Amino acid sequence: MMRRLCCRYVDGKTVNAAVSARTKLGALHADEKVPNQDAHFVTRGANEEVVVGVFDGHGERGHEVAQFASSCMSKYLLARLDNGGSSLKSIVSAAFAETAQAVKTNPCADTSGTTATVLVLRKDECVLAHVGDSCGVLYQRGLRKLTPRFALRPHRPGLCKTEDSRVAAFGGICHDGYVVDQVTRKKGIAVTRTLGDKDMLVNGCIPEPEIMSFRILSRDTAIVIASDGLWDAVGVNAKSVAAVVEANLGKDVDKVCDAVLNHAGNQPFDDCTVIVVELME
């Protein structure tokens, strides 16, 4: 399913932002007859903000956690944006805290959880926040081609000393790409930050997001947010996605999103959700 949203922001002049979203069930879950564990939302705030989010559930009830977290996050973000008076960064931070608390009280999150990546764009101000490994990349036009201006880092064990040190301080164990339960040493999850997974909080898997706040510049062209079904696909990385986006710019934004999704293969191994925010003058 694809949805489109057009809003306006100002960077010295009026600019359009067109948004498209697409999701596809991965071969892994199709073979096991498991529901798509990804969820997403695309909506608009009271002051024409672009508001989007991607969630990738894991665990037996991961699809339930992802859907619940997506519903909560969009509700809390829109409510706070409607009230106004706060910075985007504080609004997103508060919405994450509210969502984490709501998820914590839901039984589906006892031993399952979800990633969460959220973007809010108002005028030329943008905030990206995430827990887990559903990453986002901001692309800008270089001298010859589209290049990543920056990319969110995935919260995975073994990739960041700060994340690993926190897990270790809680008594958790990082082993072979997983945070492993310190008591049974049986359950492990592949992220160091998550919404839900109440049984893994004691191992340092926290729900607090990493938040980036920045201004959209005139050379910025697109933002791609996707679950790891895209980023972990064979041959896919931020630069290869840049080439796909560039080859399809100028077409309908849905076609850009289609092309990025298909970059993961006709049927990606894992569930794959892609949101493309095209920044157009």
What pLDDT is stored for residue 84 in this prediction? 79
What pLDDT is stored for residue 32 in this prediction? 80
What pLDDT is stored for residue 34 in this prediction? 86
Structural domain span for residue 133: 4-154+208-280
pLDDT band at 123 (very low <50, low <70, confident <90, very high): confident
What pLDDT is stored for residue 243 in this prediction? 97
**Averaged pLDDT for residues 146-164:** 94
What pLDDT is stored for residue 4 in this prediction? 47
What pLDDT is stored for residue 250 in this prediction? 85
pLDDT mean across residues, the chain: 91
75 occurs within a structural domain: yes
What pLDDT is stored for residue 202 in this prediction? 92
pLDDT band at 256 (very low <50, low <70, confident <90, very high): very high
Angstrom distance (rounded) from CA 182 to CA 193? 16
Contact between 198 and 26 under an 8 Å Cβ cutoff? The reply is: no
What pLDDT is stored for residue 41 in this prediction? 98
Q: Which residue has the higher pLDDT, 17 or 132?
A: 132
What are the φ/ψ torsions at residue 217 (nearest 5 degrees)? -100, 165
User: Which CATH number fits the domain that encloses residue 36?
Assistant: 3.60.40.10
160 occurs within a structural domain: no
Domain count, the chain: 1
Q: Which residue has the higher pLDDT, 242 or 188?
A: 242
Task: Express each pLDDT in 177-234 by its tens digit.
Answer: 999 977 776 678 999 999 999 999 999 999 999 999 999 999 999 999 999 999 999 9
Angstrom distance (rounded) from CA 158 to CA 179? 10
Query: CB-side exposure of 184: number of CA atoms within 13 Å?
Result: 5
First to last CA, the chain: 26
pLDDT at 10 over 90: no
What pLDDT is stored for residue 215 in this prediction? 92
What are the φ/ψ torsions at residue 46 (nearest 5 degrees)? -65, -25
What pLDDT is stored for residue 23 in this prediction? 96
Contact between 261 and 230 under an 8 Å Cβ cutoff? The reply is: yes
pLDDT at 9 over 50: no
Angstrom distance (rounded) from CA 14 to CA 23? 30
- Tell me what percent of the residues of the chain surpass a pLDDT of 90: 79
Query: Torsion angle, CA of 140/120/274/205, rounded to 10 degrees?
Result: 110
201 occurs within a structural domain: no
Angstrom distance (rounded) from CA 86 to CA 277? 24
122 occurs within a structural domain: yes
195 occurs within a structural domain: no
- Tell me what percent of the residues of the chain surpass a pLDDT of 70: 93
Angstrom distance (rounded) from CA 79 to CA 73? 10
Q: Which of 2-11, 45-54, 156-165, 230-239 has the lowest mean pLDDT?
A: 2-11
Give Cα separations from 164 to 135, 203, 211 (angstroms): 19, 11, 19
What pLDDT is stored for residue 92 in this prediction? 97
What pLDDT is stored for residue 281 in this prediction? 64
Q: SS3 sequence, the chain?
A: CCCEEEEEEECCCEEEEEEEEEEECCHHHHHHCCCCCEEEEEEECCCCCEEEEEEEEECCCHHHHHHHHHHHHHHHHHHHHHHCCCCHHHHHHHHHHHHHHHHHCCHHHCCCEECEEEEEEECCEEEEEEECCCCEEEEEECCCCEEEEEECCCCCCCCCHHHHHHHHHHCCEEECCEEECCCCCCCEECCCECEECHHHHHHCCECCCEEEEEECCCCEEEEEEECHHHHCCCCCCHHHHHHHHHHHCCCCHHHHHHHHHHCCCCCCCCCEEEEEEEEEC
pLDDT at 3 over 80: no
184 occurs within a structural domain: no
What pLDDT is stored for residue 142 in this prediction? 85
159 occurs within a structural domain: no
190 occurs within a structural domain: no
pLDDT at 162 over 80: yes
